[in-house]
Structure 1
Amino acid sequence: MAKTNSLTNRQIFFLMTQTQIGFGILSLPNTLQATSKGDGWISVLMAGVMIQLVLIMLWLLLKRFPRLTYPEITQFVLGKQVGKFVNLIIYIYFIWAATFVLLQFTSIIEEHLLISTPYWVIGLLIILTCTYAAISDIRIIARFFGVISIVFLFLFGISFFSFLLPMELHHILPFGSSGLKNITLGSRDSMLTLLGFEVILFLYPLAEKKGTDFLKVISWANVFVTGLTAYFVLLCILIFSEAFLEEIKYPVIYFLRPLHFQMIDRIDLLFISIWIVPLAASIIIFIYLASKSLRLFTDNQMKRVLMNSLAVFLLFIAAPKDPESKQLYTTWIEYMSYLVLVAIPLLLLLCSRFLHKQIKEDSH
């Protein structure tokens, strides 16, 4: 593949990090209070290690089929008919993941920024914007993600203002006081926050550098996202009491609310406004990946993206918005992610080894 049509390591890094960093990090400190409490940051690090093991497994699979994407591998290994059925499951996962992020995205904006705006209007504006970006080629999306990665610098800069607030070190001491069982349970909740690494299943054929170079870049991306998530979780634990974290739905937003400056009165609203960018990036890539997972009715990429966006918006409108239903959506996404990102790739890897199915890397 010509280098002009390839993705550089930097572009792969930005694609993976922008997809992984989403809404989950905003509510994770609250979620972890039910399990690992003050050891929540340890749970995040443990989740990062687990995801690294999954990344190695996915890399081993992709390395056997360097010119094929995930949906193409399923049909190559399992056969055309079984492969199409598996691809349907993968397609449903990405459509539902995009809907799930859109639901959470709209909820955050409605609660904190556009209180009087109907939720469907917010959702429509978001999906239209994301559709416009998702129609583009993956290389254009990668360049766009590279440009907007500058928001991380703003997020880090804004978060440093939190050090002006009183922090209680005893909230995290002694380390491991929650017990190994609770820390492990917390790592399961953290893994849901770190989803998005599945984008690599579609990037390997386009990677300019494959093999161990590809593994290194996705590993560094995982380290970055895990570190960023653990950093915000640790900040919230140090600033807020345990009882407060159990009550506040989005602690990462609220830890900046007490700060007031002469020119900026609500720095937390500035933080939310910036965080909109990575949230939108997740929807963009999920809609794009859905269009690559299953070719329904048409081979035209633009038409598939438009159909997928319409499906996401209709599901968004039809989905109940009560807390119980949202928790049910979380459970669905969790179990579907285990199936699509762990069980199916592991099955493909074992079958390809057992059946001796492999495509050798092109020589350069």
Structure 2
Amino acid sequence: MKSFEYGDKEIGLLDISITVTSMIIGVGILMLPRELAKTVQGSDGWISMISAGILAIGVAWILAKIATHFSTQGYYAYATAAVTKPIAFAAILFLSLYFLSFCAFEVRAIANIAKQYLFETTPVEVIAFAFLMVNVYAVSGSRVGLIRLNILFIPIVLFVTVLVLLFSLGMVDVKELKPFFTTDWKSLASATKTTAFSLLGFEVILFYITMMNRPKDAPKAVAIGVLIPLVLYTSIYLVCVGVFSQLALPEITYPAVELAKEMTIPGEFFERFESIFFTIWIMAVFTTTVMAYDCTIYGLRSLFTKPKHKTWVFILSPIIYLLCMYPKNLSDFSKMSTLISYTGIVVSILFPILIHAVAKLRGVKSDAS
């Protein structure tokens, strides 16, 4: 029994589960109900969400199982032994660039939404810069401290979200959820792809596996980490359909925030609960962004060992800012989101699976025993 369990630099099953949940829960859910409503009929989006969830949990389990094979030596060393150093270098570099793009996307997304709901007269460039600076400060500290921060923030985020859902139930019109099972399979497949993109984030296990005190728990931990957002996302989607209707949802940019605006609390204790909801949700986006930032540094430091941690923090910050400011409009921003999602599937899922397959064929030393 440790005298101070959270004072060490090792993390356990709960830490990884909450970390994966924190990484997945971000700006995606704020827009996901609208994207599903554009594709499916009635409330059939839940079918796609469950399908995408089962797929994501399965892939996350496989990825975590692969990660246990390099829980001590690290992804780069394992890949180098399997597919030669140049190919391993490219694989880790692309993975790091993916996390870098992920970070930039979250910064721009939160700036766009904050401008619409909180800071209407403030330029989006200023909001993005301020949010990025907070991330720079956070990522400059201890890596294990960031993971502990997730355990502090996520219960608050989940509590406020559940509160919004509960107080919105009175506005749900069950008739809006009908008819059931009327969407064709092609539309359901398209909606499944959209939802699967929103469930990306479990790939952080490729780096954070080296910090686990019991790496064998990683598959179970990431499965739980994906399951929590899946339940939350499905609940938010169904309530949004019941409140706004499937026909109206495609016209609402951020249905989840609008849901907080429409909800009523007995006694009218809060008049603008959406501001509170969004402020709390910034905590969730913050943890997603700062971990993507941290994973970028984690990957680059395994390739370039001389620069210190803080040196990478300050080198990357202007790159992230310029990248997040690159989209000129919502169309460009949407294209950026799609590109990042496809890139993530290739570099964080397909590459590790292929590298592991080669490692098995070549009999590379594994840490899983």
TM-score tier after normalising by the smaller chain length: over 0.9
Counterpart in the other structure of 2:196 = 191
Q: Is the 8 A contact 1:130 1:283 kept in 2?
A: yes
Counterpart in the other structure of 2:349 = 342
**Distance across 2 between alignment mates of 1:309 and 1:191:** 29
**Distance across 2 between alignment mates of 1:284 and 1:137:** 12
- Aligned partner (choices 319, 324, 337) of residue 330 of structure 1: 337
**Distance across 2 between alignment mates of 1:182 and 1:161:** 31
2:44 match: secondary structure: helix
Q: Which digits, 9 at most, give the CA deviation of each residue in 1:222-249, with x for residues without a partner?
A: 1111111111111101111222101001
**Distance across 1 between alignment mates of 2:309 and 2:290:** 14
**Distance across 2 between alignment mates of 1:239 and 1:63:** 44
Counterpart in the other structure of 1:301 = 309
2:262 match: secondary structure: coil
**Distance across 1 between alignment mates of 2:343 and 2:205:** 17
Counterpart in the other structure of 2:165 = 159
Q: Is the 8 A contact 2:70 2:366 kept in 1?
A: yes
- Aligned partner (choices 153, 158, 161) of residue 148 of structure 1: 153
Query: If the length of structure 1 is used for normalisation, what is the TM-score?
Result: 0.93
Counterpart in the other structure of 1:139 = 144
Aligned residue pair count: 358
**Distance across 2 between alignment mates of 1:11 and 1:29:** 29
How do residues 34-73 of structure 1 correspond to structure 2 at under 5 angstroms?
34-37=38-41, 38-73=43-78
Task: State, as a whole percentage, how many aligned pairs show the same letter.
Answer: 23
What's the offset of the Cα at 1:136?
2.1
Q: Is the 8 A contact 2:23 2:288 kept in 1?
A: yes
What's the offset of the Cα at 1:101?
1.0
**Distance across 2 between alignment mates of 1:352 and 1:71:** 13
Counterpart in the other structure of 1:228 = 232
**Distance across 2 between alignment mates of 1:132 and 1:298:** 21
Q: Root-mean-square deviation (CA), in Å? A: 1.9
How do residues 212-291 of structure 1 correspond to structure 2 at under 5 angstroms?
213-260=217-264, 262-291=268-297
Structure 1 segments, 4+ long, off by >4 Å, are none
Q: Is the 8 A contact 1:192 1:334 kept in 2?
A: yes
- Aligned partner (choices 289, 311, 315) of residue 323 of structure 2: 315
How do residues 18-37 of structure 1 correspond to structure 2 at under 5 angstroms?
18-37=22-41
Structure 2 portions without partners, runs of 5+: none
- Name the stretch that deviates more: 194-203 or 294-303: 294-303
**Distance across 1 between alignment mates of 2:10 and 2:69:** 19
Q: Is the 8 A contact 2:164 2:259 kept in 1?
A: no
Q: Is the 8 A contact 1:61 1:348 kept in 2?
A: no
The amino acid that maps onto 1:226 is L
Q: Is the 8 A contact 2:61 2:222 kept in 1?
A: no
Query: If the length of structure 2 is used for normalisation, what is the TM-score?
Result: 0.92
